[in-house]
Amino acid sequence: MNWSKLPKIELHIHLDCSLSYDLVKKLDPSISWHEYKSKFQAPINCNSLNEYIIKAEPAIDLMQSKESLHLSVLDLAEQFVKDQVVYAEIRFAPLEHCRKGLSDIEVVEIVEKAAEKAAEKYGIEIYVILCCLRHYEEGKSLRVAELTARFKGSRIVALDLAGDETLPSQPHEAAFKYAVVHGIHRTSHAGEACGSESVNQSIHLFQVERIGHGVRSWESEETMNLLLQRDIHLEVCPSSNLLTGIYPDIRNHAVDKLRNYGVSLGINTDGRTISNVNLSGEYQKLAETFGWKQEDFLRHNLEAIKHAFAPEKIKKSVRKRLFEGYGQ
Nearest of 194, 190, 195, 271 to residue 233 by alpha carbon = 190
| Burial class of residue 173 in the structure, from the number of CB atoms within 10 Å of its CB (0-12 exposed, 13-18 middle, 19+ buried) | middle
Please state, in angstroms and as integers, the Cα–Cα distance from residue 92 to each residue in 63, 162, 217, 302, following that order: 11, 9, 24, 24
- Measured between alpha carbons, how far is 315 from 237 in angstroms, rounded to an integer? 22
Distances (CA, A) of 14 to 57, 90, 156, 181, 272: 12, 6, 14, 26, 8
**Strands 210-213 and 125-133, how do they pair?**
unpaired
Catalytic residue among 192, 235, 282, 303: 192
Q: Are 214 and 190 in contact (CB under 8 A)?
A: yes
User: Which amino acid appears at position 152 of this protein?
Assistant: K
Q: Is 192 marked active-site?
A: yes
Q: Which residues contact 99 (CB under 8 A, 6 or more apart)?
A: 61, 64
Catalytic residues: 192
